[in-house]
Amino acid sequence: MIERRGLLPFAALSVVAALLTIGFKGGAYLLTGSVGMLSDALESFVNLVAALVALFALSVAARPADEEHTYGHTKAEYFSSGFEGTLIVVAAASIVVVAVQRLLVPRPIAEPGLGLAIIGIASVINLIVARVLLRAGRRHESITLEADAQHLMTDVWTSLGVIVGVGAAALTGWHRLDPIVAIAVALNVLLSGVRLLRRSMLGLLDTSLPEETLTRIKTILDSHGGSGVRYHALRTRQAGARRFISFHILVPGEWTVQRGHDLLEEIEERIREAVPRSVVDTHLEPIEDPVSWADARLERPSQGGESG
């Protein structure tokens, strides 16, 4: 698996793109006075903050496991994506506030042609960088890069909406088209932010692996049922690119420790091959012991019984 530190250049690329687009879009707003272009420039400023947070989160996630964080630091990526989702929501709300004000008091747009050309250049930059980040994020299972890519794509959609709104307002003379389009784009941006926040929260809450992945794991475990082997207490979670899988294997009591150990090694290896980047934790138990079956519950009470 690629080290998370190897993803830092992608986050740095996002920072550079944000700085470039802030310059382009800020200049376009100063030329035109368009509220749509102002909202677009604000979105790029949010992109810069988000890219800096992503860079920091990836640097934290790249740290090796230590005594205080024995499972590593990969969950830092969820904090980054959650923060970025929050920024997207805030940006969408800010766009709506400014657009409503301009809707009530419309203003003509100056130099629309030059402003739109500048916005177009900034959009192309964001689109290229977003595609690079999205490919890298999916390839290396980095929710931080995927979140950054989604944020840039919302910026691209914002820019397209601005181009349509400003262009239509300039052609028709109906200046309220500018803020109307800005509001429509903001609602789309808001939806993207909410989705990203939900995904980040699920990661922080140790949500189980997808059903498709669980099916692959269960198929491997079920394949040993013919030899009198059973399993239970299957539990999974994901932290960044790491998947954590644990379960108990129950075998006949007359088996030697070596035979049971060999079986666990075989099962663990098959699961690691079927589910890349996984940490597999197993526990061997005698199938005849009633105490073994009590472990099937997520929380096992103490042997003294539950207090009542």
pLDDT at 128: 92
Q: What is the CATH number of domain 211-294?
A: 3.30.70.1350
- Break the chain down into helix, strand, coil percent, rounded to 5: 70, 10, 25
247: helix, strand or coil: strand
As beta bridge partners, residue 141 has none
Residue 301 pLDDT grade (very low, low, confident, very high; cuts 50, 70, 90): low
Evaluate if residue 81 carries a pLDDT over 80.
Answer: no
Give residue limits of the domains in the chain.
4-204, 211-294
Evaluate if residue 185 carries a pLDDT over 80.
Answer: no
Percent of the chain scored above 70 by pLDDT? 86
Q: Under the phi-then-psi rule, with left for phi > 0, alpha for psi from -120 to 50, and beta for the rest, what region is 188? A: alpha
pLDDT at 267: 92
Evaluate if residue 292 carries a pLDDT over 60.
Answer: yes
Evaluate if residue 306 carries a pLDDT over 50.
Answer: no
C-alpha pair distances (Å), 225 with each of 68, 165, 250: 39, 64, 10
What do you get for the CA distance between the two ends of the chain, in Å? 48
Do 211-294 and 4-204 have the same topology in CATH? no
Evaluate if residue 70 carries a pLDDT over 70.
Answer: no
Mean pLDDT of 24-40: 76
| CATH 1.20.1510.10 corresponds to the domain 4-204 | yes
In terms of pLDDT, which residue wins out, 227 or 70?
227
pLDDT at 300: 54
Output the six-digit token pair for 301. 């009470």
Distance CA 180, CA 165 (A): 8
In the chain, the amino acid numbered 229 is V
Mean pLDDT of 6-25: 84
C-alpha pair distances (Å), 274 with each of 213, 269, 271, 283: 9, 9, 5, 20
Evaluate if residue 238 carries a pLDDT over 70.
Answer: yes
Neighbours of 265 (CB within 10 A): 11
Distance CA 220, CA 227 (A): 13
In terms of pLDDT, which residue wins out, 217 or 83?
217
